[in-house]
Amino acid sequence: MEDRIVALANELEEYKIIQSIPGIGEKIAAPIISEMGEIDRFNHPKKLVAFAE
């Protein structure tokens, strides 16, 4: 199942961006994307940070 999730996540630009953060690999990036949802709903980076806190 993890392989399928990673395969689906690989289609997302956000997934690749999150993986560029040191220490974030395939298995961590996918849950981050699923919790975050559509990144476009955050019209400013500070709003995304506030959501994450």
What are the tens digits of pLDDT across the range 11-53?
888 888 899 999 999 888 888 888 888 888 899 989 988 988 8
Model pLDDT, residue 22: 96
**What is the dihedral sign for C-alpha 39, 44, 46, 51?**
negative
Model pLDDT, residue 1: 67
Model pLDDT, residue 19: 92
Residues 39, 29: Cα–Cα separation, whole Å: 14
Model pLDDT, residue 24: 93
Q: By C-alpha distance, which of 24, 32, 50 is closest to 12?
A: 32
